Structure 1
């Protein structure tokens, strides 16, 4: 097939090729990676020769996906309708509820609760690479100066991943803040946070930006991906990229959601390739807002958590987002000592070493809150 001719005809029908504000977009996942590569190469040739800006089309090689406006993808679907899976590029939201402004908490209660300080004589997470797919981060925050590395901005391409919401900075603080004198300390204070800005100032993102973010994390050598967000509909494109990241050995930690559901959790936490995290409160009970049930793998503190915020400040937030960051930091402590442990081994270790939570009627005897010290000690014996 003459793929260049196909792409030329497509571009003629949608010219000028620009990404329009608010335009409906779709994700095309090719069944055959070879066909995907042929289409991408042909499109690149056409756009270069015609001097056309094709910033409306994104590619994710890891999952053989193409993301583009509906006016373009409808034509592509007609040409290759039996060779791809098509889905709407849906909106995803972060999993947290803002609370009050706070002051530098030193060691926050959640970090103490999971016994992280007792583990620091063994590991501080030195140089473990964590991709935080979120709203970006406040690079000027004094508590994060030692932990932050250059990431990527998928909302405003070409700009650094600056946080214009606060959620991503809060997550990063719980994972890796390192200011023991006047600020706060996170679970893994010597780990390396790479912010991946996929969410805008309103805390919203498209599935396609999350897919691209996971792809970037895998290609950039992240060992852990923190995903403190969720959606209630299943996405084939998201499952494909999560599966490929999992197969690459990347540990994906995802928030279960804040709807207080007893038998369901949000995607991507519902996928078996992730570690699904629910939230507990100071009484070591499941927080009322947290989703729970068989799809939650472990629980961690998520109620009234104070962490870093914009402009060097601190803020209290509640949500399974906050719980997820405690788990990501905990895993970093182990990977610093035992690099290369498989995601499945880490999930089993977390569950095996968790401490049974105080039961409510909606809790199960198998529900447990992470214990960082027990997890690290047990994990150091592992050869998986």
Structure 2
């Protein structure tokens, strides 16, 4: 089923807050960890970030700004509010910054189910590669051969074991066979859209964004089969969302000790609140992959456009899409700020109801990079504390530096200098990391 591309652009979403990873406060009030619960944010048109200290009182801030405090973290010096007020009081002590929280945030999304290709997921496949075929999803054999996945998995025998990847998306089909034994503990799951602990992919098969999160998470596991997926739902069935819930999902992923966060989403205008959350994640040593956007334009969506210039740019990677011939996908955004390309056309993965389906978009390219990082980090379990060669930023740098340049290909000449370092080559990536270790 081919749906209009414009209707399938993903975005950012709603609400629901809790205390610390894996625990939910029993009432709609601030918890000891500084999060609010039972506070849907989608109905609030504005988001506000404040500078706070332990001397501040959440109730007073809520009254002063005519809104709801949804996160209060004086130890980190900030608070988040949802408000309907179009004006802010003069308050130099708290340096308030207001921005739109509208669900009109556009996405880095996908173009469609590729030609309506959907079949039943085949279970019982025990091997990853056999006789040159990718046994889990044979339909992806040519794509994974393109990025040298088989060789990379041989170089990384842990296959991402011990690495938690947070998928901030439309949710997952949690009962799908593809995810059994691969999900984080259930007390870490969170739905910021419906404000509960069930991050299931919800919707009608073949419509809107339904199945998007199931596919992106499945892509990560095809690259790093032993990685752990943390399902965080922050996008609704139509793929839209609000700023506050995406920012809170990022903070939640950090509190759950995710090593990698995948953001197959985006917006046309910069969000300080989301960028601040990404900075906090990067500060904690988390690596983040972000899709470039699907407008086919000479620009990147946010937060991808901040990846090369943010406070912790060395730990954030923007990803565009190429075809099987390494040509820029017609839908993929491009820019001198873009950092990496990866396959994003007709990428097969799990679909709701234990199905298999193909999607196209930069949303599919970003989790290829996320899976690659998980594959590498599985060989460097102490990366956050390790020597420079295997620090998070070093791992990210190796992924970029090891890519195969593609902008000199005849079909890519119009985009020369705007396709990042090239198309990801996972074998070269793993070999460069091993060489870096030997050099220390």
Q: If the length of structure 1 is used for normalisation, what is the TM-score?
A: 0.82
**Bigger Cα displacement from structure 2, 345-354 vs 98-107:** 98-107
Q: How does 1:1-384 map to 2 (within 5 A)?
A: 23-31=43-51, 33-34=52-53, 38-40=56-58, 57-59=69-71, 61=73, 64-71=78-85, 74=87, 77-78=88-89, 80=91, 83-91=95-103, 92=105, 93-99=107-113, 100-103=116-119, 104=121, 105-106=137-138, 108=140, 109-123=142-156, 124-149=159-184, 150=186, 151-164=189-202, 165-176=210-221, 186-262=222-298, 264-271=299-306, 272=308, 273=313, 274-339=316-381, 340=383, 341-357=390-406, 358-359=409-410, 360-364=412-416, 367-382=421-436
Does the CA contact (< 8 Å) of 2:46 and 2:82 recur in 1? Answer: yes
Give the count of matched residue pairs.
Answer: 344
SS of 1:283 mapped into structure 2? coil
Distance 1:279 1:251 in 2: 20
CA distance 1:60–1:305, shift in 2 (3 Å): farther
CA distance 1:343–1:295, shift in 2 (3 Å): farther
How far residue 315 of structure 1 moved from its aligned partner, in angstroms, is 1.4
How far residue 56 of structure 1 moved from its aligned partner, in angstroms, is 5.1
Distance 2:423 2:301 in 1: 19
Does the CA contact (< 8 Å) of 2:320 and 2:362 recur in 1? Answer: yes
Distance 2:164 2:41 in 1: 34
Structure 1 residue runs of 5 or longer lacking an equivalent are 1-17, 47-53, 177-185
Distance 1:369 1:189 in 2: 21
How far residue 25 of structure 1 moved from its aligned partner, in angstroms, is 3.1
Does the CA contact (< 8 Å) of 1:94 and 1:204 recur in 2? Answer: no
CA distance 1:205–1:270, shift in 2 (3 Å): same
Distance 2:82 2:61 in 1: 12
C-alpha offsets along residues 20-70 of structure 1, whole Å, 9 cap, x if unaligned? 896333222123x316x62327579x9xxxxxxx99541163572322231
Distance 2:338 2:72 in 1: 29
**Bigger Cα displacement from structure 2, 166-175 vs 89-98:** 89-98
Does the CA contact (< 8 Å) of 2:259 and 2:287 recur in 1? Answer: yes
**Bigger Cα displacement from structure 2, 332-341 vs 359-368:** 359-368
CA distance 1:127–1:107, shift in 2 (3 Å): farther
CA distance 1:60–1:128, shift in 2 (3 Å): farther
CA distance 1:316–1:34, shift in 2 (3 Å): same
Distance 1:22 1:375 in 2: 41
Distance 1:257 1:344 in 2: 23
CA distance 1:22–1:175, shift in 2 (3 Å): closer
SS of 1:293 mapped into structure 2? coil
Distance 2:72 2:319 in 1: 27
Distance 2:294 2:181 in 1: 31
Distance 1:39 1:21 in 2: 20
Distance 1:21 1:209 in 2: 7
Does the CA contact (< 8 Å) of 2:162 and 2:378 recur in 1? Answer: yes
Q: If the length of structure 2 is used for normalisation, what is the TM-score?
A: 0.72
> Considering only aligned residues, what root-mean-square deviation do their CA atoms show, in Å?
2.6
How far residue 255 of structure 1 moved from its aligned partner, in angstroms, is 0.3
Distance 1:278 1:115 in 2: 18
**Bigger Cα displacement from structure 2, 58-67 vs 187-196:** 58-67
Distance 2:246 2:258 in 1: 15
Structure 2 residue runs of 5 or longer lacking an equivalent are 1-37, 122-136, 203-209, 384-389
Distance 1:343 1:254 in 2: 16
